[in-house]
Amino acid sequence: MSIDQIRTIVLQHGRLSCDPEKITPDANLYELGLTSLTTVNLMLALEEHFDVEFPQHLLSRKTFESIRALSESIDEIKAS
């Protein structure tokens, strides 16, 4: 999945209070300010943008921890 597309969505919906340059593919989004509430908003935006639905087994902190983890999860969803 496109790291750049996911990064843009994280910037729009994650409400992170850090320098956007710190949001690298492997940066921990929770350490950068992602909260449980903004995780839900981010999930909904990703589902809409990529026309997917996160299954129960991917609804974990690990899935939303980084842009790379999100990309891999979306790839997994699309492959199934």
Structure tokens belonging to residue 61: 């902190």
Helix residue ranges per DSSP H, 1-80: 3-13, 36-50, 67-79
Question: Tens of pLDDT along 35-50?
Answer: 999 999 999 999 999 9
Q: Which whole-number Å values give the CA distances from 6 to 13, 43, 47, in the listed order? A: 10, 11, 11
CA 33 → CA 49, 61, 75, 76, distances in Å?
22, 13, 25, 26
What range defines the domain where residue 58 resides?
Answer: 3-79
Domain count, the chain: 1
pTM of the model: 0.94
Q: How confident is the model at residue 78 (pLDDT cuts 50, 70, 90)?
A: very high
Residue 22 has pLDDT above 90, yes or no: no
What CATH number does the domain containing 18 carry? 1.10.1200.10
